Amino acid sequence: MGTKTLVRLLIALAILGGIAAILHFSGSGTSVSTVASSTDKKKVFSDFPINDVAKVMIKNKDSSVTLQKGEKSWEVAERAGYPAASEPIVSMLRDIWDLSIVQVITIGRSQYGRVNLIAPEDAATAEEGATIVTFQGKDGKDLASLWLGKVYERSENRANPMGGMAMTEAGRYVKKGTSNSVYLVGDTFDKVATDAAEWIDKDFFKVEGIKSIEIVSKEKKNDWKLVRDDAAGDFKFAKAGEDEKLDQAKVSSMKGAFANPQIEDVFVGEDAKKNKTGTTTFKIATFDGFNYEISVGEKNDLNELPLTLKVNGKFVEKRKKGEEESDEEAKKADEAFAANLKSLQDKLAAEKALEGHVFKVRSYLVDSIIKARADLLAEEEEEGADAAGGAQGGNPHGQLPGGVELPGGIKLP
């Protein structure tokens, strides 16, 4: 082999090393796509206007959701402007701004169905059609749109216990609304949903340090109120009836009532009118000055029920100085007291904002504490058990009572 021939061969190999692999689609109508070099990443949007986005509309064939900037935060239009969780929205915008092309797919419009990029209105099912994410500015004009298609799965090169090869989600086929070009990107966008409930702010109220808890229902004989003197103490009836003995094992769960409630959704419009509360109401006072009125309705077949909340607070606003505090100790104590007071006031403001809404929650939140008064009482011991216990109690050492005749005619004194 001559020197020139060797040089040409090396140049050819170098060129081939910079060209990407060819992606083949399985099935009929196979086509290929040229892939850019792995060192030459290009963004899907070269100039995505992330700071100008004021509204995000997400839709597929069956449903849609609109997220829009309100005066204080992002809101969910389909939930009457209820606050949206801002972090997932901001994260989605950043991901799209930084979205890089992994592979450029050469595919005709007639083959969009194979990557689920058919227009939603033309698709047979929501799964076959694209999910379209449209971004608008304050003036209501479209800034950009992204069509989300089929999720790309990559083989893990190991057997799946359920059969076949194990696969993992590694990307998604997308296209810009203004272009026919199809790309494979490394983000699956699995959290981009059209269900409004997925976007609402799930921050809720939290009851801590219960001082008293009262249940009010339509059956007054079943109602009760429990109180305790300190956060480490046990409950007792506020007004115990004659011969009423509280079973502490049955009321221990009351101490943690509503300690970590969670929202499933918010009822609005006609749904809010249909899902009435007031079947059972809990009135709770805490040691740090909060007063809650939590009302729930009937639960449905899915173990969900409506809940409404009212809350107010009265806090100690001035610290009582210790008798032997130094100036430095007093300063530190005052600062800690002020910080705690500010925390309580902020908590109250956040929870007051929940008033006026009808929330959908899981029934487990109240199942363990909706109990009739009779169900909180200690059970009476059976007469047989009492008699047996009495006999043993009267003869702790197993001695037989006097006057008992033993076998052989022996009679105890």
Asked whether 291 and 313 are in contact (CB, 8 A), the reply is yes
Beta strands in 20-110 (DSSP E): 22-24, 32-34, 55-59, 64-69, 74-76, 82-83, 101-105
The pLDDT assigned to 2 comes to: 60
Dist. CA 134–CA 366, nearest whole Å: 40
CA atoms within 13 A on the CB side of 222: 14
What is residue 322's three-state secondary structure? coil
Task: Please report, in tens digits, the pLDDT of each residue of the chain (413 residues total).
Answer: 565 554 455 545 444 444 333 333 333 333 323 334 444 579 999 999 999 999 999 999 999 999 999 998 999 999 999 999 999 999 999 999 999 999 999 888 889 999 999 999 999 888 899 999 999 999 999 999 999 999 988 877 777 777 776 777 789 999 999 899 999 999 999 999 999 999 999 999 999 999 999 999 999 999 999 999 999 999 999 999 888 999 999 999 999 999 999 999 999 999 999 999 999 999 999 999 999 999 999 999 999 999 999 999 999 999 888 888 888 989 999 999 999 999 999 999 999 999 999 999 999 999 999 999 999 999 876 545 554 555 444 454 445 455 545 445 545 44
pLDDT of amino acid 295: 98
The torsion of the CA quartet 95, 98, 102, 107, rounded to 10 degrees, works out to 80
Q: Which residues pair with 144 in a beta bridge?
A: 135
Enter the tokens of residue 21: 């692999």
Tokens of 81: 């402007």
pTM of the complete model: 0.77
Q: What is the pLDDT of residue 412?
A: 46
Please give the backbone phi and psi of residue 61, each rounded to the nearest 5 degrees, phi first: -65, -35
CA distance 358 to 269: 10
- Cβ atoms of 194 and 60 closer than 8 Å: yes
pLDDT in tens, 296-316: 999 999 999 999 999 999 999
Separation between Cα atoms, residue 115 and residue 23, nearest integer Å: 14
* Cα distance between residue 103 and residue 381, in whole Å: 76
The model's pLDDT over 348-404, given as tens digits with 9 standing for 90+, comes to 999 999 999 999 999 999 999 999 999 999 987 654 555 455 544 445 444 545 554
CA 226 to chain centre: 30
**d(C-alpha 170, C-alpha 151), whole Å:** 8
Beta strands 280-286 and 290-296 are antiparallel
Q: How many CB atoms lie within 10 A of CB 236?
A: 14
In degrees and rounded to multiples of 5, residue 281 shows phi and psi of: -130, 135
Sequence ranges of the domains in the chain: 19-198, 210-319+336-376
